[in-house]
Chains A and B, each alone.
Chain A
Amino acid sequence: MKPQPMVLKVLNVVSVLLFLAALGMVFLYAPLEATMNYVQKIFYFHIATAWVGMLGFIAAAVAGVLYLIKHDQKWDIVELAAVEISLVFFLIAIAAGSIWARPTWGAYWTWEPRLTTAAILEMIYIAYLLLRQGIDDPDRRARFSAVYTLVGAISVPITFMSIRLFRTIHPVVIGTNSAASQGSFDMTSKMLATMFFALFAFSVIFVNLFWHRIRLGQLAQQVEQLKLEELQ
């Protein structure tokens, strides 16, 4: 396996620095919100992880389309990498959101539209990983996965739009809140700057982890091929 390219090494350092800078902005630069005070600071990383989670699920669908067009296993590796990382980020978003909800809504979880669609989205892609493992033939597995990610991606806009389409207690960050929304707040310019910086930082971290995960997939493929050669 080739050593890490210089760009990836630079990206590793940049990702760590951006992560630390985002943490610094959250705790030292963003002002304290008047009603929720400290717990509101979860919001910056909650939004950022949810954003990269959804971005990855869309990226997986794009890789799925490319596989169906080109029938090249490399797109299956890319697709799996995108799904796996997105699952991790989306899980963080759900867990952080639940912790924020406890003092704000009085409950960790409530079956309102955003939380329900987010939970369904996460489960759709957990099922993707489980179902993939049940298919031995690499081409069949890749074809199935490509179609699955395409269909699964439909749940991404549904989850994103759920707080705008339905009556919900989940606050809308950009746009008009539902009358039932609880925990919404007016963002100051410093809060907005912190939110966009966290979005940017996590996007870079996502690209970095994505690259590492693709390399891991390539290495796994190489090992698998050698094992098959040994058996023949």
Chain B
Amino acid sequence: MIEYAISIKYMLAGYAVILTVLALYIVNLFIRWRNLARDLQTLKEIQKKSL
């Protein structure tokens, strides 16, 4: 049987990894979306000016 203290330590480490990787990916998606939306806006403004 695995000791309780050791078992809890690894469980917390496991869930920390799961939550961190998921959170990082969601933040990454959000940042990429925001940057692309900004690029789109800029490109549309450039197009308007050139017309």
Q: Which residues of A contact B (CB under 8 A)?
A: 1, 34-39, 41-42, 45-46, 49, 85, 88, 91-92, 95-96, 99-100, 102-104, 209, 212-213, 215-216, 219-220, 222-223, 226-227, 229-230
A103 touches B21 (CB 8 A): no
A37 touches B2 (CB 8 A): yes
**With A88-B21, A104-B2, A223-B43 known to touch, is A37 a contact of B7 (CB < 8 Å)?**
yes
B10 touches A96 (CB 8 A): no
B25 touches A103 (CB 8 A): no
Q: Does B27 sit at the interface, judged by CB under 8 A?
A: no
A92 touches B10 (CB 8 A): no
User: Which among A39, A45, A46, A100 has the highest number of chain B CB atoms within 10 Å?
Assistant: A39
Query: How many angstroms between the C-alpha atoms of A21 and B4 in the bound complex?
Result: 25
Closest to B1 in A: A35
User: Which among A41, A85, A230 has the highest number of chain B CB atoms within 10 Å?
Assistant: A41
Interface string of B1-19 (1 = CB under 8 A from A): 1101011101101110110
A37 touches B4 (CB 8 A): yes
| Chain A residues with CB below 8 A from B44, complex form | 226
Query: How many angstroms between the C-alpha atoms of A172 and B37 in the bound complex?
Result: 46
B29 touches A213 (CB 8 A): yes
Q: How far is the CB of B41 from chain A (nearest CB, A)?
A: 10
Query: How many angstroms between the C-alpha atoms of A87 and B32 in the bound complex?
Result: 17
